Structure 1
Amino acid sequence: MARITLEDLEQLGEEPAAADGDGGDSEDDQEGEARLFAHWEAVASTHRVSLPRDMAGPIAQMVRHRQAREPVPYVSLSQHGKCEEAAYEERRYPAGKWACVTMGEPMYEQSISMSFMKLMRYICKENSVGCHLGMTVPVLNEIHLTKEGTELEREVLTAYYLPGAFQQNPPVPMDPEIHITERAPLRVITRVFYGMTTEETILREISVFWELLGPTDTVLRETYIVASYENPSVPQRRNEIWFICQAE
């Protein structure tokens, strides 16, 4: 199994076969949902993913509830670099509640794929309020480097920020592997990169970012965050590497 994420599934809203009804059980709705699922089986197969049949419902939910994505709130502290290649930004994210899943599959792509499918079920309906919660961006993938710094540790934490309407009283997940966590305020230095997010590209982007920053002891060296914003069907889609600042 390889990567399939929030951004993959949001492409569904662009498909002409998407079911745009109110979720009824008409024959047209069922046929549209079947075509939609068949399309995404084909998309998943290109990622070497076997899409479970029980993802048909969440996929249809994502289409019916397509809407503006709510950004995770933050404050920009400073910006550096005059050209995009050398540009980076320091930000502070407030404390907030996140739905988190940790996986330790053989490949990074497998871990975030399996984690996000769990989160998608939670977002779409498998929660204590039984409704679609709404989407937020970015989705975060927290990674750890080995002591040698040449590989990623197997465990990856994937985190979805609860929309503002649910921050005070988060819906309880039906999946016991999903944990609602109050994450402390976070100060990060971020840099945009575009394209695929694989272990190879992540390690390369971390190395490039270190070259830009130069020697510093103000950020962690073994823990990083990969933030995902856009649909992977976009050839040069937007991602960010976050370097985590040491606690003040």
Structure 2
Amino acid sequence: MARITLEDLDGLGEEAAAGGDGEEEEEDDEQERGRLFAHWEAVASTHRVSLPRDMVGPIVQMTQHNQAREPVPYVTLSQHEKSEEAAYEERRYPAGKWACVTKGEPMYEQSISMSFMKLMRYICKENSVGRYLGMTVPVLNEIHLTKEGTELEREVVTAYYLPGEFQQNPPVPMDPEVRITERAPLRVITRVFYGMTTEETILREIALFWELLGSTDSVLRETYIVAAYENPSIPQRRNEIWFICRAE
């Protein structure tokens, strides 16, 4: 389910809002649900993930709330702009509660897609308050490199930041694979990149970032974060690679 993770939402949400004028409401709603599901199903198939029919509800709900996304809070500590392509910045993210799912599928895309399906269900009513919780961005995918640094470990942690109103009292997930975690404050060095996020592109972005930073012991070398912001159907969608700074 090709990064079904965050997001076959932007373009689809706009189309959904524009459709339906002059048609019978029930029939129009059913057609829209079918169209959205078919689109997400096609995206899913490109990464060898099947899309269960029970994802229709969460897909429609997240599409309807597409424009209301709460940013994960952070403070910018410094910015470096040697050139547009080389720009990167250092940020500090506060401690906070996240809903996390861990998967270890054969492909990176499969792991994050299957994890985000579970998170979507949690966000869209499969929680102890029984309602839509709200979307936050970015969704984080924590990855680990092998000791050789030439490929990714299979296990990926996908994390969704709880909206502000739920930070003190997070709704309890119905799915035991969705766990609520209090993550410590995090200091990262981030760099934007655009396009698809596959194992190949991630490894390339990590190597490019190391070339840019040069030799340093201030960041971890085996653990990284891929932050996803935009709709995967957008060819030049925005992502970030995060280098994690060592504890001070």
Please indicate the TM-score interval, normalised by the length of the shorter structure. over 0.9
**TM superposition shift of 1:10:** 4.4
**TM superposition shift of 1:54:** 0.6
Q: Is 1:71 aligned with 2:58?
A: no
For 1:109 and 1:247, the matched residues in 2 are separated by 30
Match for residue 142 of structure 2? 142
C-alpha distance after superposition, 1:156-196 (max 9, x if no partner): 00000000011011011110000000000000000111111
Q: Is 1:118 aligned with 2:110?
A: no
Match for residue 220 of structure 2? 220
Match for residue 159 of structure 1? 159
- Answer with 37-46 or 65-74: which moved more: 37-46
Secondary structure of the residue aligned to 1:30 is: helix
Secondary structure of the residue aligned to 1:57 is: helix
Asked whether the equivalents of residues 19 and 60 of structure 1 are also in contact (C-alpha less than 8 Å), the reply is no
1:136-215 pair list within 5 angstroms: 136-215=136-215
Amino acid at match of 2:6: L
Asked whether the equivalents of residues 74 and 94 of structure 1 are also in contact (C-alpha less than 8 Å), the reply is yes
Match for residue 49 of structure 1? 49
For 2:132 and 2:53, the matched residues in 1 are separated by 19
For 2:164 and 2:147, the matched residues in 1 are separated by 38
**TM superposition shift of 1:41:** 2.2
Secondary structure of the residue aligned to 2:209 is: helix
For 1:168 and 1:105, the matched residues in 2 are separated by 32
For 1:17 and 1:73, the matched residues in 2 are separated by 29
Runs of 5+ unmatched residues, structure 2: none
- Answer with 54-63 or 135-144: which moved more: 54-63
Asked whether the equivalents of residues 17 and 36 of structure 1 are also in contact (C-alpha less than 8 Å), the reply is no
C-alpha distance after superposition, 1:64-122 (max 9, x if no partner): 32332111000000011231211110000000000000001111111001000000111
Q: Is 1:132 aligned with 2:137?
A: no
Amino acid at match of 1:162: L
**TM superposition shift of 1:8:** 1.9
Asked whether the equivalents of residues 16 and 32 of structure 2 are also in contact (C-alpha less than 8 Å), the reply is no
For 1:218 and 1:94, the matched residues in 2 are separated by 19
For 2:155 and 2:47, the matched residues in 1 are separated by 20
**TM superposition shift of 1:138:** 0.5
CA RMSD of aligned residues (A): 2.0
State TM-score, norm by structure 2.
0.92
Asked whether the equivalents of residues 95 and 184 of structure 1 are also in contact (C-alpha less than 8 Å), the reply is yes
State TM-score, norm by structure 1.
0.92
For 1:62 and 1:160, the matched residues in 2 are separated by 14
Amino acid at match of 2:201: T
**TM superposition shift of 1:62:** 1.2
Percent identity over the alignment? 86
Count of equivalent residues: 245
Structure-2 change in CA distance of 1:81 and 1:65 (3 Å): closer
Structure-2 change in CA distance of 1:172 and 1:18 (3 Å): farther
Runs of 5+ unmatched residues, structure 1: none
